[in-house]
Amino acid sequence: MTDAIATQIELLSRIPAHPRRASVAQIEQGLRDAGYAIGRRTIERHLLNLSRRFAIVRSPGKPAGWSWREGTPSLRLPGFDQGTALTLHLVERHLAELLPPGVRQQLEPDFAQARAALDRLPDAATRRWAQRVAVVPSGPPLLPPEVDAQVRAVVFAALLAGRQFAADYRAAEAADAKRYRFHPLALVWREGVFYLLATLFDYGDVLQFALHRMTNALALADAAVEPEGFDLQRHIGDERQFDFPEGPPARIDLHVDDWLARYLSERRLAGDQVIMPLRGQPRLRVSATVPLSAALRWWLLSMGAHVEVRKPVRLRNAMARDVAAMAAAYRSPRVRRPTA
């Protein structure tokens, strides 16, 4: 394919369907972002020539714009424009694990074509963008647990089709696995771990199951039964089930170091958070209404001596017990190095 033909194909792909329109300036900028150094006069000549062979029209106005004639869909080509290539590249990098196996397999050629499209134009703005954005975990980079391939295939297919499945499941604190019949409701991917939300047998409680603890999965023909009113976003956001709730929301008071107060002024604990100085002390008081959960306690413990929980009393007492247990562990005799 010659450069001129490639330019004209890229140009046609940037013309929107009626009633939207793109000005020559917008088309020029899009071509430059895609790595095509082409002047406005040349673009205008290409557009006039292409309008004799394709159903593209110039709409009057200030500025004038180009679009596909009314009733004509925008051009769909086997290749990708740079925006589509970038989107597919980021989907492959960050979201591919969430796709059903069949869909992911269907998209593999598109992923490869998207990578090739970005590689062809090393100076394109979209390629630079792909090289300059990243998703970083909040904690240490733990390796994800391995999920059995059969389990993954059965669970994904059951969720997609709304069917039940059976599997052996070993709870984190259990020594042996038990056989369950699952009604799959949703999948959540958190820090490299897949969690299935499901009910068991004829019970209505929505529970969480880590896929890497499942074995011997078997697809069943029976339809899955969904609890009335189940909503994934409410389950995660409003009910905070993945924070492991330990009680209803409560007002907490924290005494924190100055740097932590500045951090919390940027990343607030809640919408009603208040930060104020403590009279005669270098620390500041942070007050907010938050769900009392295991996740909150883990975060507070990760702050170490930089934070002190003042209220509520039961959270303060739980923190005191945790800190005392940690202190006792560190007061134990130092482990000696083995001798050669």
Q: Give the tens place of pLDDT for each residue, 281-316.
A: 999 999 999 989 888 999 999 999 999 999 999 999
Domain limits, the chain: 3-68, 82-131, 149-234, 244-330
Question: What is the pLDDT at residue 19?
Answer: 79
Question: What is the pLDDT at residue 314?
Answer: 93
Q: What CATH class does 3-68 carry?
A: mainly alpha
**10 Å Cβ neighbour count for 179?**
10
Running along the chain, 340 residues long, what does each successive block of 10 average in pLDDT? 71 81 85 78 88 85 80 62 83 88 80 82 78 82 88 94 96 91 93 91 92 96 93 82 82 96 94 94 94 90 94 94 92 65
Q: What CATH class does 244-330 carry?
A: alpha beta
- Are 273 and 325 in contact, with CB atoms under 8 Å apart? no
Question: What is the pLDDT at residue 147?
Answer: 92
Q: How far apart are CA 133 and CA 125, in angstroms?
A: 13
Query: Which residues have C-beta within 8 Å of that of residue 168, sequence separation ≥ 6?
Result: 177, 178, 179, 180, 214, 215, 216
Cis peptide before 63 (omega within 30 of 0): yes
Question: What is the pLDDT at residue 25?
Answer: 87
Question: What is the pLDDT at residue 1?
Answer: 46
Q: How far apart are CA 56 and CA 73, in angstroms?
A: 10
- Helix, strand, coil percentages (3-state) for the chain, rounded to 5, are 40, 25, 35
**Residue 3 per-residue DSSP state:** H
Whole-structure pTM value: 0.66
User: What is the CATH architecture assignment of 149-234?
Assistant: Roll (2.30)
Question: What is the pLDDT at residue 255?
Answer: 97
| Dihedral (CA of 133, 91, 231, 295) sign | negative
